[in-house]
């Protein structure tokens, strides 16, 4: 059974730092992996989708990588800003089901 | 496109009342998902439609919950009768895809409080 883990559950860093969020999954047989952000009281916003055949995807200051063999994905945020403060969730499409991590709550201190 | 539209945004009701949540997916999307989010349990999939047909309703808690998708542009989630433990934020999401999920777009959610 696929399990998705995001560690740490919370992270606080000063503005301007580059940072990495982690997403681990137990079964490497995935179709794709998506990263989302959720602001308080809001819905989830899709950030990046990586197909199983891809190694990484980039959007602006965000870069997501995928290593299926090790069961890991990372979301790299460059030059963090207070507006990046949110909860970041990853979800893997495994056996035609989306399996969700519990999320990492990120706080960027001005 | 206006994105996924959900209504109402907030609903406060008393135990035993019927609750109907509504969703308009993004035009052209053929997959629709209903999720429930709570602090304790996180994000839970309730039901998934593809081409207006319910594909997976294994997440629907019990018979008090029902969902319909009469056409490609509208879906409802009904709770009857409602209970305090149903209090949560209910999200609707849509995507374009078959069995493999495409990029998922969420609505702003409907926050339900059952007293």
Residue B33 clears pLDDT 80, i.e. is over it: yes
Query: CB count, 10 Å around CB of B28?
Result: 9
pLDDT per residue over A27-57, tens digit each? 999 999 999 999 998 999 999 999 999 999 9
User: B81: cis peptide before it, omega within 30°?
Assistant: yes
- φ/ψ of A10, rounded to 5, equals -145, 150
Judged against a pLDDT cut of 70, whether residue A11 lies above it is answered with yes
**What pLDDT band is residue B6 in, cutting at 50, 70 and 90?**
very high
Asked if pLDDT for residue A95 goes beyond 90, the answer is no
Average pLDDT value for chain A? 95
Q: In sequence order, what DSSP letters do the residues of A23-61 get, joined into one string? A: EEES----SEEEEEEE-TTS-EEEEEEEETT-SEEEETT
**Is A100 within 8 Å of chain B by CB?**
yes
Buried b / exposed e over A85-94, threshold 16 CB at 10 Å, is bbbbbbbbbb
- φ, ψ at B84 (rounded to 5°): -55, -35
Confidence of residue B62 (pLDDT cuts 50, 70, 90): confident
Which residues of chain B does A44 touch, with a Cβ-Cβ cutoff of 8 Å?
91, 93, 104, 106
Q: What average pLDDT does the segment A52-70 reach? A: 95
Contacts of A49 in chain B (CB under 8 A): 102-103
CA distance B89 to B100: 25
Q: How confident is the model at residue B1 (pLDDT cuts 50, 70, 90)?
A: low
Q: Which of A18-32, B65-79, B99-113 has the lowest mean pLDDT?
A: B99-113
Tell if the CB–CB gap between B100 and A93 is shorter than 8 Å.
yes
| pLDDT tens, residue by residue, A73-85 | 999 999 999 999 9
Cβ neighbours for B10, distance < 8 A, ≥ 6 positions apart? B110, B111, B113
A8 cis-preceded (ω within 30 degrees of 0): yes
**According to the model, what pLDDT value does residue B102 have?**
85
Q: Which of A43, A86, A90, A93 to mutate to test the interface with B (most CBs of B within 10 A)?
A: A43
């Amino acid at each position: 059974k696929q399990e998705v883990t995001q560690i740490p559950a919370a992270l606080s860093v000063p503005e301007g730092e580059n940072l990495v969020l982690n997403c681990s999954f137990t079964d490497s047989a995935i179709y794709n992996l998506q990263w989302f952000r959720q602001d308080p009281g809001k819905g989830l916003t899709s950030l990046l989708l990586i197909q199983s055949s891809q190694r990484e995807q980039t959007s602006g200051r965000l870069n997501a990588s995928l290593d299926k063999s090790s069961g890991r994905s990372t979301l790299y945020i460059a030059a963090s800003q207070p507006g990046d403060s949110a909860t970041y969730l990853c979800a893997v499409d495994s056996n035609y089901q989306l399996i969700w991590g519990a999320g990492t709550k990120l706080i960027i201190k001005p | 496109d206006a994105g996924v539209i959900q209504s109402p945004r907030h609903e406060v009701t008393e135990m035993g009342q019927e609750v109907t949540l509504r969703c308009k997916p993004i035009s052209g999307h053929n997959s629709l998902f209903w999720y429930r989010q709570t602090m304790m349990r996180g994000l839970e999939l309730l039901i998934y439609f593809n081409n207006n047909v319910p594909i997976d309703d294994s997440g629907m808690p019990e018979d008090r919950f029902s969902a319909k998708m009469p056409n490609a542009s509208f879906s409802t989630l009904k709770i009857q009768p409602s209970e305090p433990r149903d209090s949560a934020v209910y999200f609707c999401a849509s995507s374009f895809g078959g069995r493999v999920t495409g990029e998922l777009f969420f609505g702003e959610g409907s926050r339900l409080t059952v007293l």
